Structure 1
Amino acid sequence: MFSSISAFFGIQKSQECIFCDREKLAAPVYENEEVFAIDNIRKAGESHWLIIPKRHIRDIEKLDAGEAILQELDNVKKHLLQAYYPDIPKEHVHSGYHRGHRPMVGTLGLPDIISVHHLHLHVIVYPFSILKMFKYPNWLSLMWANDEEILQRAVTHKSV
């Protein structure tokens, strides 16, 4: 039988991580010892960056509370916004994480909707309304997690 809803719907997962194979990616718009940022090839707004840890972490569901990498991702987000959009109002920036597989009962769980199974923070500037509502929806916590809420939980050592 199917081990998850993802398997039931035939969602394919690559065993290779394209974010770990950096040679296949565009040049970073930012990089330090822990993370790098690239332009998303499928823009959901005027600018759309992916901020990615160099260490492979599958998704936010696999993080421990208090994980320092979340703070570093947030620092890079602030740096990029200051460098490219220094006067942008907060309401014109949409950022967060797609949710990974979460068990419900036994081996059944909520679907894993992540396209790349390597933790990455989406930072979307002047988002396109239709994508913000349906692909990156703050209103659907089963699918999307606001990065500020995730960071706050990590800082207070609650589960992310």
Structure 2
Amino acid sequence: MAVWHYLANLEWTEKVQHKCVFCDRANFKHIVYEDSEIIAVTNRTPGGQFHWLIMPKRHIIRDMEALRHADLALLQEMDAVKLRLVRQHCPDLLGSSKVIAGYHRGRRPLLGGIYYPDVVSVHHLHLHVIVRPYVLKRLFKYPAWLPLLWKSDAAAMRQAAAASEPDLTEASKLITRPR
């Protein structure tokens, strides 16, 4: 029943959130890590034995669909926090398939004015890290097998790394070209 409710309530139009629950610390159940740029909290509705949300403190990116090359350093910082939490709470599972990490996919064009659904519940970039995920949630809410809904953290970092940087080669050719 919960699966059908989830699928029926996917955002097929662009969802605009005027109030971000992640920007208000009072909404966090338990903060497990914090530094000047990153915060990690326990998810209110866990998808496994441990379920953390790692995010930038500032609301600078809506979702993983907006990642650019310049965001790679931020993603790497979030990944370092992920590794730190796993080492701290379950070091025997580091690198194990019992730890999944990734992002829900945001709204993006499919064809013309038709879009894939926006499955992001809060539009403030956040990485899910789930230790020993519950079977049904892993299959349907955090599905590694369905890239339309979920992208692993490694794939998101590859996406940001491959995103185009400003092309300075043409400008440098203009500068160094003999007259």
Per the TM superposition, whether the score is higher than 0.5 is: yes
**Could you tell me how far 1:45 is from its partner in structure 2?**
0.4
State whether structure 2 residue 105 is matched by structure 1 residue 73. Answer: no
Query: What TM-score does the superposition give when structure 1 sets the normalisation length?
Result: 0.86
Identity in percent: 46
| Amino acid in structure 2 at the alignment position of 1:30 | Y
State whether structure 2 residue 60 is matched by structure 1 residue 54. Answer: no
1 CA distance for matches of 2:83 and 2:25? 23
**Which structure would you say has the larger Rg?**
2
Q: Secondary structure at the match of 1:77?
A: helix
**Could you tell me how far 1:123 is from its partner in structure 2?**
0.3
| Amino acid in structure 2 at the alignment position of 1:78 | L
Query: Aligned residue pairs: how many?
Result: 151
Which stretch shows the higher mean deviation, 25-34 or 102-111?
A: 102-111
What is residue 129 of structure 2 aligned with on the other side? Answer: 123
2 CA distance for matches of 1:95 and 1:81? 11
Alignment of 1:134-145 (within 5 A): 134-145=140-151
2 CA distance for matches of 1:77 and 1:124? 10
Q: Secondary structure at the match of 2:93?
A: coil
Note the aligned Cα RMSD (angstroms).
1.8
| Amino acid in structure 2 at the alignment position of 1:98 | H
State whether structure 2 residue 105 is matched by structure 1 residue 102. Answer: no
2 CA distance for matches of 1:121 and 1:45? 15
2 CA distance for matches of 1:42 and 1:13? 22
1 CA distance for matches of 2:144 and 2:35? 29
2 CA distance for matches of 1:147 and 1:45? 17
Cα-to-partner distance string for 1:55-98 (whole Å, 9 max, x where unaligned): 21110111112412111110000000011111115111011000
Structure 1, unaligned runs of 5 or more: none
What is residue 88 of structure 2 aligned with on the other side? Answer: 83
**Could you tell me how far 1:12 is from its partner in structure 2?**
6.3
| Amino acid in structure 1 at the alignment position of 2:29 | A
Match of 2:26 among 23, 27, 38: 23
Q: Secondary structure at the match of 2:163?
A: coil
More helix by share: 2
- Structure 2 contact 29–43 (Cα < 8 Å) conserved: no
Structure 2, unaligned runs of 5 or more: 1-10, 165-179
Q: Secondary structure at the match of 1:142?
A: coil
